[in-house]
Amino acid sequence: MERELRVLIVEDCEDDELLLLRELKRRGFAVCSVRVETREALARALEDAEWDVVISDYIMPRLDGLTALRLVKATHPDLPFLLVSGTIGEEVAVEAMRAGAHDYIMKGNLARLGVAVEREVRERTERRKTQEHLHRAERELRHLQKMETLGQLAGSIAHDFNNLLGIIRGFGDFAFRALEPDHPARADLEEMQKAARQAAGLTSQLLVFSRKQVLNAVLLDLNEVLQGMDRMLRSLVGQKIALSLELYQGLPLVKADRGQFEQVVLNLAVNARDALQLGGKLSFTTAPATLDAAYVSRHVDVVPGEYALLTVSDTGCGMGPEVLARLFEPFFTTKEAGKGTGLGLSTVYGIVKQSGGHITVESERGRGTTFRLYLPRALGGEEEAVAAAAAAHPARGTETVLVVEDEPVLRTLARRILEGAGYSVLGAGNAAEALTASEGHSGPIHLFLVDTVMAGGSDADLVRRVVESRPEARVVFVSGFPAQSVPRPEFLCPGATFLQKPFSAEALLVALRAALDGPGPAAGKAGGPTRPADSAGARGAGGPAA
């Protein structure tokens, strides 16, 4: 099979050109060529077309070979340049090679020409592929850095906003309970609490995007999850859209949060439905996949290994490159004002990434969209994480709790919740105050409730001293970030409980009761790692943050 070859020939003799072309055709090339013999013609040819190789004579009346070489290298430094001459000597050949020529061939030995051209074209192709891989990797790295920066910003905003929402929801709940059932202000408070819960949902999505949401990871069969959602998906997309599930039998299990994965499926289905306004096809397909070293070399954020692949394809309107470039950014949306928050696909991105996975998207205007989600295969021997059941009505307590929180309003809120449940409460705005309160309290302190963000700063040593001053006390650390994303300072003693903000009054009381009734600090030290509080409780209704 002939191989196409575009050759720019710098030669003043037509007969010599025919000899070059005959040799290249004998080698199996289908040659498209142009012959030039002046500096101006060479410059125009380089500008007007793309060439695979330049073959130049050395001695010509209006343009010498070295001048032609310099012109080519000035504008096309990677274009192979071969000198062909009947008179070139060894010194001239060395000079030409130093100037950038890739080879020189004597006209009396043109049999070497085809071999030299094949070699140079092959090496140029390989160089271009390498450069393309590097450029793609650089683009992906810049994109990942941008998404990481956006994630850090989103997580910080969500953390601070969760504190404010905790105050609004907590004190709103106190006000609601204080009113008589027929009080006209109760309806206003209900609307306020409803809006606060919706806002908490948005901040939760920001935490998902920033990969700072608590995941209840269990072993999942993606096929089983999709089959369980089949009826819901068909109802969601409507009758105009033909929905199909193509599920691979024997799909490897993955470890992920079932609720979060269901949210991924729903978000992608809604996205496809919006792109299929006139109807069409939507398919969910599963298959095993192996991402090897070659794939990883082209994607800087991927770990090689075995994956379960979910492909979601639609025949909708598709997207252009300007939309694809920003598709996963939070608050980016192509919908009109009031029709979307711009958090759906950023949530998908965050869940997949936090689950250790990888996501790609392909789309063209008018040609539909395909998402590919790779979730790593669960390792052998992994067991399902089992969440502890939260008590429907948390038990009251009589113990003494020292609350260490630098936000005065949150400290007041925690005091009201705990005192309302029967606890005795001491308060401190920083670690120094906590140490003073601990040393000045003559009775026992049964539990420390400590904000890790404050404690993880310059007060870390003092917080450690506070905890060590009461070795019998239990510890509950709280933060707007989950345990796995909070830098763990050395004072996070084994056996301590972690509770993520925002949480309801019930979730706080459950966490305290579990910490107080569970194994003591000594048992915790022997037992190993820090244990998280019940994640279901941390996501419960209500939501004041302490």
pLDDT value of position 345? 81
Looking at domain 3-109, what is its CATH homologous superfamily?
Answer: Response regulator (3.40.50.2300)
- Mind listing the pLDDT tens digit for each residue in 474-499? 988 887 655 444 544 444 555 677 77
pLDDT classification of 335: cutoffs 50, 70, 90: low
Report the Cα 505 to chain-centroid distance in Å: 33
Residue 222, pLDDT > 90, answer yes
CA distance 420 to 535: 23
Q: Tell me, what amino acid is at 187? A: A
CATH class of 133-209: mainly alpha
Mean pLDDT of the chain: 78
b (16+ CB within 10 A) / e for 474-509:
bbbbbbbbbbebbeebebbbebbbbbbbbbbbbbbb
- Mind listing the pLDDT tens digit for each residue in 355-370? 889 999 999 998 999 9
Residue 453 in contact with residue 474, Cβ under 8 Å? no
SS3 content of the chain, % helix, strand, coil (to 5): 45, 20, 35
pLDDT value of position 32? 93
Closest CA to 218 of 386, 399, 447: 386
Looking at domain 400-538, what is its CATH homologous superfamily?
Answer: Response regulator (3.40.50.2300)
Closest CA to 39 of 62, 73, 6: 62
b (16+ CB within 10 A) / e for 315-324:
bbbbbeeeee
Instruction: Look up the pTM and report it.
Output: 0.41
Mean pLDDT to the nearest integer, 35-63: 92
DSSP letter assigned to residue 109: G
Identify the bridge partners of residue 424 per DSSP, sorted by sequence position: 400
- Mind listing the pLDDT tens digit for each residue in 261-304? 888 898 899 889 988 988 999 999 999 999 998 888 777 678 88
Domain boundaries, the chain: 3-109, 133-209, 217-376, 400-538
pLDDT value of position 403? 93
40 vs 166 pLDDT, higher one? 40
Mean pLDDT to the nearest integer, 448-460: 66
- Mapping DSSP to helix (H, G, I), strand (E, B) and coil, where does residue 379 land? coil
pLDDT value of position 67? 92
Structural fold of domain 217-376: Heat Shock Protein 90 (3.30.565)
Residue 306, pLDDT > 90, answer yes
Residue 96, pLDDT > 50, answer yes
Residue 383, pLDDT > 60, answer no
pLDDT value of position 384? 38
334 vs 516 pLDDT, higher one? 516
CATH topology agreement for domains 3-109 and 133-209:
no
pLDDT value of position 419? 92
- Mind listing the pLDDT tens digit for each residue in 114-142? 889 989 888 888 887 777 766 766 666 66
